[in-house]
Amino acid sequence: MPHYAMMVNLERKRCVVVGGGQVAERKIASLLAAGADVCVVSPTCTEAIHAWGQAGRLTLWQRPFASADVSSAVLVVAATSDSAVNLAVYEACQQAGCPWINVVDRPDLCSFTVPSVVERGDLTVAISTGGNNPGLAKKLRRQLEAWIGPEYKDYTRFLGTMRKRVLALDELDAAGKRAVLAELLDDRFLEWTRSGEIERRDREAEAVVAEWLGCDRS
Ligand SMILES: C[C@@]1(CC(=O)O)c2cc3[nH]c(cc4nc(cc5[nH]c(cc(n2)[C@H]1CCC(=O)O)[C@@](C)(CC(=O)O)[C@@H]5CCC(=O)O)C(CC(=O)O)=C4CCC(=O)O)c(CCC(=O)O)c3CC(=O)O
Ligand SMILES: NC(=O)C1=CN([C@@H]2O[C@H](COP(=O)(O)OP(=O)(O)OC[C@H]3O[C@@H](n4cnc5c(N)ncnc54)[C@H](O)[C@@H]3O)[C@@H](O)[C@H]2O)C=CC1
């Protein structure tokens, strides 16, 4: 069964990661980027995890996993190199009623898996292969990163601002609004963002709006 793709708000939500190796580090990095309240339980950890702990960005419990560790978690990642421990984490989640569990060496036990992600500010492109081949997800991420450049961060913001502005225009009916929004998605606005011609882009966008307002009134 294919998984349902969704964007989850994890801000200040308690997320527990069991294990402190490279795989745990990768999952922790994305949880921190999402503003989660991260607790890590592991006898050893990578330098990066240690540094996040020192900086107060996460809570580090430097000891082996205990079942009670998952009690207040909304999401848990079992990322140790010991499959028996990972299974024990899964079972503790079942007991505690924690619905969101990722077991890094047992796709069959995962209630969620982690996709490869291209992030450009508010723009997110996630790639999942349904567990078939994470390497393919990573390869596609790299290819997409070359295509969806850093300019998409500002471009997405620009389109967001314009969309809000257009939707708030009482002078335009729904069809007019849709037409303006479609026109603003024309590649020339992306090109102007890419080449740094921001004033021109914004001016031309305003011209599109003005032209439609003119059409509507006539
Ligand atoms: C099911 C899933 C569960 C989950 O972790 O959520 C899972 C499971 C497993 N991964 C394994 C191996 C590797 N995983 C990677 C990389 C990534 N793995 C990620 C996700 C997922 N991995 C979920 C499915 C995603 C999907 O649907 O495609 C990514 C996308 C996201 C992330 O982890 O942040 C991230 C790339 C991020 C990026 O760079 O963009 C690499 C490559 C590398 O590390 O360079 C290798 C080595 C090469 C290989 O084996 O293919 C193994 C065998 C372990 C062993 O050997 O024991 C298992 C277990 C199994 O398959 O049985
Ligand atoms: N899903 C994925 O994306 C991938 C999953 N894997 C799987 O992930 C596992 C972990 O990989 P790495 O991080 O590279 O391993 P690692 O050996 O670098 O780290 C394992 C960590 O688990 C901790 N640990 C061991 N026993 C523990 C316990 N009882 N309680 C808490 N923590 C404990 C260790 O202290 C260590 O920090 C691999 O064994 C492999 O099966 C590997 C690659 C990708």
Query: Measured from the CA of 85, which atom of ligand 2 is nearest?
Result: 29
Ligand 1 atom showing the smallest separation from residue 141 Cα:
40
Q: Report whether pLDDT(8) > 50.
A: yes
Q: What distance in Å separates the CA atoms of residue 101 and residue 110, rounded to the nearest whole number?
A: 6
Q: What is the pLDDT of residue 218?
A: 47
User: What's the average model confidence in pLDDT over 68-81?
Assistant: 97
Q: What is the mean pLDDT of the chain?
A: 96
The residue whose CA is least distant from atom 10 of ligand 2 is 81
Q: Determine the average pLDDT of the residues in 32-37.
A: 98
CATH of domain 14-114: 3.40.50.720
pTM: 0.96
Average pLDDT over residues 22-45: 98
110 lines ligand 2 (CB under 6 A): no
Per residue in 161-185, pLDDT (tens digit) is 999 999 999 999 999 999 999 999 9
Sketch the domain layout of the chain as residue ranges. 14-114, 151-217
Percent of the chain whose predicted confidence (pLDDT) is above 90:
96
β-pair partners for 75: 15, 100
Q: Is the pLDDT of residue 216 over 70?
A: no
In ligand 1, the atom with minimum distance to the C-alpha of 142 is 40
CA of 30, nearest ligand number: 1
Q: What is the pLDDT of residue 215?
A: 74
Complex ipTM tops 0.90: yes
Please tell me the distance between residue 134's alpha carbon and the centre of ligand 1 in angstroms: 4
Averaged over 114-141, what is the pLDDT? 98
Nearest CA to ligand 1 atom 54: 105
Question: In this structure, which residue's CA is closest to atom 1 in ligand 2?
Answer: 104
- DSSP class per residue in the chain: -PPPP-----TT-EEEEE--SHHHHHHHHHHHHTT-EEEEE-SS--HHHHHHHHTTSSEEE-S---GGGGTT-SEEEE--S-HHHHHHHHHHHHHHT--EEEETT-GGG-SS---EEEEETTEEEEE--TTS-HHHHHHHHHHHHHHS-THHHHHHHHHHHHHHHHHT-TTS-HHHHHHHHHHHTSHHHHHHHHTT-HHHHHHHHHHHHHHHHHHHH-
Ligand 2 atom with the shortest distance to the CA of 41? 31
